[in-house]
Amino acid sequence: MRFRHLKFALGVVGVLAFAGAPAVHADEQFFPLQSYRVGPYAAGGTGFFGGFIDYLNLINIRDGGVNGVKLTWDEGETQYEVERGVEVYERLKNRLGVAAWNPLSVGIAYAMIDRITKDKVPLITVNHGRTDSTDGRVFPYVFPLLLNPYSETSGIVNYIASREGGVDRLKDKKIVVLYHGSPYGKETIPIYKLLADKYHFSVEQIEVPHPGNEQQSQWLSIRRAKPDYVVLRGWGVMNPVALKTAQKVGFPADHIIGNVWSNSEEDVIPAGDAAKGYIAITTQASGAEYPVLQEVIKTVYGAGKGNLDDKKRIGSVYHNLGIVNGILNVEAIRIAQAKFGERTLTGDEVRWGFEHLQLNPARVEALGAKGLFHSINVTWDNHEGDGRVTFQQWDGAKWKVVSDWIAPDRASLRPIIEKSAAAYAREHGITPRTSGDDPVSQ
């Protein structure tokens, strides 16, 4: 009995599934976007995907695409939920000329690793994602570009060291890490321990249960522990509440260092005055003064095609991350086109482009992004690409860069990443590649 209604449902869905797919012309490269513009993380989603789309629009309007290949995209709303992300993946994966997936969600990215590897399309997890996917030998299609969570940890510790006057001055310092009670939050616990042993500082890691709208007890514990620094590894509402509660217990904001998901305007504005002086790590500076941003404003917003409703958000942290993500994707296509021809590329060809995504500071300047981000140097076995980080301080109205471009200590983290990747390879029966020219094994 129950089977009959199924047929109806299937019929309806089937018709709709095929009705919506427009024909793709020969020279187009398609970006399926698993965006989130609704729900608790909408502020980040609108900024990031807005910036990404703005940059793709810039390339289309100003250059007529990448060497004449038009960039197209389609959005599917995920609300940051994994199963919606999977649905959007299944919906859009068969479109012609899929260049790369950019979910900006750890959960969705995880659910896609098997799928995109099978479908041979790159998965870009800029600033987030699975740390061991840095090892391109085991994860040929996954790219945690610019900064993985381990490098971020090292970058933050290096910054604290530089404020104290060198790594040897870290000795006997005390750092509290306040982390979000989720897999994301817990990921760096062993890395902080490792670095604490290496540099002889003491570290105490305190969990804030999701969503983090109540942190009285955690901050009282912090007050009792009297640390020199607090690292905020937060997400969403947890960040402004942390800053507010810090003020409540009298902990100075300029000794709180935010991680890469605690570094946006959305994290500090709700905290008001309590956020003044707060410092956070970033891979891309904020502000709209960079040439590429100016061109986006002139060309894209000038033509009424800007993606952000609120023009004040142009140059905000998430918007600029979206722009940088756009640059990285477009340049990977450009590099791949130089090898395979100026046409619609396959996902595997775009992967090759990402594996040769080497943008030195001169090239970054030529792209109009000098000062926006430093450089990237992706290779077949290093999918993160040695990005640099900088630190920014909130002055109550905007972020101001307060450090040089700092390089995390990747050499000492690489063995941990390789070990974890090797375990993954064993579990999944993957033979790691031994050179960039190896055919990708399944």
Partner 1 sequence: MFDYQFLIEVLVGGLLSGVMYSLVAIGFVVIYKTSGVLNFAQGAMLLFAALTFVSLVERGVALPLALLATLAIMVALGVAVERTVLRPLVNQPPITLFMATLGLSYVIEGAAQLLWGTQVHGLDIGISDVPLDIVGVFISRFDLFAAAVAGSLVALFALFFRTTRTGLSFRAVADDPFAALAVGLRLPRVWAIVWTVAGIVALVAGLLWGARLGVQFSLSLVVLKALPVLVLGGFDSIAGAIVGGLLIGAIEKLAEVYVGPLVGGGIEAWAGYVVALVFLLVRPSGLFGQKLVERV
Partner 2 sequence: MDATSNPRQTLPVIDRILIGIGAVITFGVIPLAGSDYLMDAVLTPFLALALAAAGLNVLTGYAGQVSLGSAAFLAVGAYAAYNLHLRLPELPLLLDLVLAGLVAAAIGIVFGLPSLRLRGFYLAVSTLAAQFFVQWALTKFGWFSNDNPSGVIDAPALTIAGYSFTSAAGRYLFSLAVVTVATILTLLLLQSQTGRNFIAVRDHEIAAKVIGVPLLRTKLLAFGVSSFLIGVAGVLWAFAYLRTVEPAGFNLDRSFQILFIIIIGGLASLRGAFLGAAFIVVFPLILSRLGAALLGGVFDSGVLEMSQRIVIGALIIAFLIAEPRGLIALWDRFRAASAAWTGLRKTFPATDTSRS
Question: Contact at 8 Å (CB) between 273 and 248?
Answer: no
Q: Which of 186, 198, 244, 334 binds partner 2 (CB under 8 A)?
A: 186
Residue 169 within binding range of partner 2, rule CB under 8 A: no
Residue 418 contacts which entry, partner 1, partner 2, none (Cβ below 5-8 A, type-dependent): none
- The strand pair at 123-124 and 202-208 is best described as unpaired
Of 12-20, 286-294, 342-350, 371-379, the segment contacting partner 2 by CB under 8 A is 12-20
Residue 40 within binding range of partner 2, rule CB under 8 A: no
Burial class (CB in 10 A: 0-12, 13-18, 19+), 131: buried
Token digits of residue 8: 């109806």
Least CB distance from residue 377 to partner 2, whole Å? 24
Residue 320 contacts which entry, partner 2, partner 1, none (Cβ below 5-8 A, type-dependent): none
Residue 83 within binding range of partner 2, rule CB under 8 A: yes
Q: Which of 42, 225, 237, 367 binds partner 2 (CB under 8 A)?
A: 42
Nearest residue (CB) to partner 1, 237 versus 402: 237
Cis peptide before 227 (omega within 30 of 0): no
Residue 303 within binding range of partner 2, rule CB under 8 A: no
Cα–Cα distance, 379 to 37 (Å, whole number): 33
Q: What share of the chain is helix, strand, coil (3-state, %, to 5)?
A: 45, 15, 40
Least CB distance from residue 49 to partner 2, whole Å? 9
The amino acid that residue 176 corresponds to is: V
Contacts of 6-12 with C-beta under 8 Å, sequence gap 24+, read: none
Strands (E), 11-163: 28-35, 70-77, 123-124, 142-143
Least CB distance from residue 357 to partner 2, whole Å? 24
What residues numbered 305-324 form the site for partner 2, per CB under 8 A?
Answer: 307
Residues forming contacts to partner 1 in the complex (CB under 8 A) are 37-40, 42-43, 46, 181, 206-211, 213-214, 216-218, 220-221, 223-224, 236-237, 240-241, 244, 247-250, 266, 269-274, 309-310
Strand pairing partners for 204? 176
Of 72-80, 381-389, 391-399, 433-441, the segment contacting partner 2 by CB under 8 A is 72-80
Cα–Cα distance, 368 to 290 (Å, whole number): 7
Residue 438 contacts which entry, partner 1, partner 2, none (Cβ below 5-8 A, type-dependent): none
Least CB distance from residue 315 to partner 2, whole Å? 20
Nearest residue (CB) to partner 1, 274 versus 292: 274
- The strand pair at 279-282 and 256-258 is best described as parallel
The label of the residue with tokens 């530089």 reads 162
Question: Contact at 8 Å (CB) between 215 and 241?
Answer: yes
Residue 25 within binding range of partner 2, rule CB under 8 A: no
The closest of 92, 93, 96 to 25, measured between CA atoms, is: 96
Neighbouring C-alpha atoms within 13 Å toward the C-beta of 133: 28
What does the binding site for partner 2 look like in residue numbers (CB under 8 A)?
Answer: 1-7, 9-10, 12-14, 16-17, 19-20, 35, 37-38, 42, 46, 75-77, 79, 81-83, 86-87, 89-91, 94, 106-107, 110-111, 113-115, 130-132, 149, 181-184, 186-187, 190, 207, 209-210, 307, 420, 427-428
